[in-house]
Amino acid sequence: MNCLLKTIIYFKGVYDTLDLFTDHLIGAFESMGYGTFVYHTANEEVSKKMLLRLLGESQEFAAVTFNNLGYNLSFEQPEAAEGE
């Protein structure tokens, strides 16, 4: 299995104890060749933009979250142009 093209998405910034556990997971998965994207709740607007850009790339993804952090993310959909 080629892990180099796979990215794991993590959510951090709500609970310090979960951030510590997440940091250990990041280290473990990176040592196995997985890419990392961290969604920082303290800087939500920038994180949303970067996440959308990342999801637009043709890669495979997985997400790691605890206590449903990130579960309620919402993104505005651009309105379709007439005729689409």
> If you search the block for the tokens 């994207």, which residue do you land on?
37
**No. of helices (H) and no. of strands (E), the chain:** 2, 3
- The domain of 44 spans 6-64
pLDDT surpassing 50 at residue 3: no
Give dist(CA 6, CA 8) in Å, integer: 7
> Looking at residue 83, what DSSP letter applies?
T
Reduced to 3 states, what is the DSSP secondary structure of residue 11?
Answer: strand
pLDDT surpassing 50 at residue 71: yes
Whether residue 76 is contained in a domain is answered as no
Number of folded domains that form the chain: 1
**Mean pLDDT, all residues of the chain:** 80
> In Å, how far from its chain's centre is CA 54?
8
Give dist(CA 84, CA 31) in Å, integer: 44
> If you search the block for the tokens 């093209």, which residue do you land on?
5
> 33-66 pLDDT, tens per residue?
999 999 998 898 899 899 888 888 866 888 887 7
pTM: 0.73
Whether residue 59 is contained in a domain is answered as yes
